[in-house]
Amino acid sequence: MIKKYMLFDLDGTLTDSKEGITKSLQYALRYVGIEVENLDVLDRHIGPPLVDGLREIWGLEEEQVQEAVTRYREYFKDKGIFLNAKYKGIDSLLEALVKADKTLILATSKPEEFARKILAHFDLDRYFEDICGATMDDTRRKKTDIIAYALMKNGIRDKEQVVMIGDRFHDIIGAKENGISSIGVLYGYGSKEELTEAGADAIAGDLAELKEILIG
């Protein structure tokens, strides 16, 4: 799948952000009367838009959703943001892609402000032409909209030359709805069944397989 433009998800694709996300959620849910002791229960929130997860998984009312989002960001911006780690070998992959003259763009459901700080912290921003994420007011939060924004902002019109790489079904569906190819990765938080059912054009078990798919 040799493409010129490569859109990358962040959480579960470039970095393992479980600790920061789940602890921020645990903190936020406490404010709406939900105690979660086992952080593994919150893995489902890694990847999808936060607002959607709060509504769909926990059935929160709108006022509760807004309170939880405020508390989540309160914890995340001070503590959770750097409770995170690069996947081993991710620098090597990104460097190889850049050397192969690929244009890398981040497309994440995480607020763009946070995404920029995370990539800068881990010195990953140097590989990316652009960083595109969600807005703080949630007017742009779904992966479909974020991918569309990334394509528009970077003037990319030849969709045959674009691929989205991510670990959850939202990445795959977002790619399909924008008419671009997609690759699901299994080292993150989505299952093979989830990614296959969503219609991923290819699936990589690890970073070595991903590199083989992207540049051979």
Q: Residues with catalytic annotation? A: 9
Q: Say how far apart CA 42 and CA 3 lie, in whole Å.
A: 34
Name the phi and psi angles at 14, rounded to 5. Answer: -100, -40
Please name the helix (run of DSSP H) or strand (run of DSSP E) that holds residue 130, with its range, or none: strand 130-134
Q: Say how far apart CA 115 and CA 134 lie, in whole Å.
A: 9
State the angle between helix axes of 62-78 and 50-58 in degrees (0 to 180), rounded to the nearest 10.
Answer: 130
Q: Say how far apart CA 189 and CA 197 lie, in whole Å.
A: 15
What the block records as the tokens of 98 is 């850049």
Radius of gyration for the alpha carbons in the chain, expressed in angstroms and rounded = 16
Q: Say how far apart CA 51 and CA 64 lie, in whole Å.
A: 10
Amino acid identity for residue 53 in this structure = G
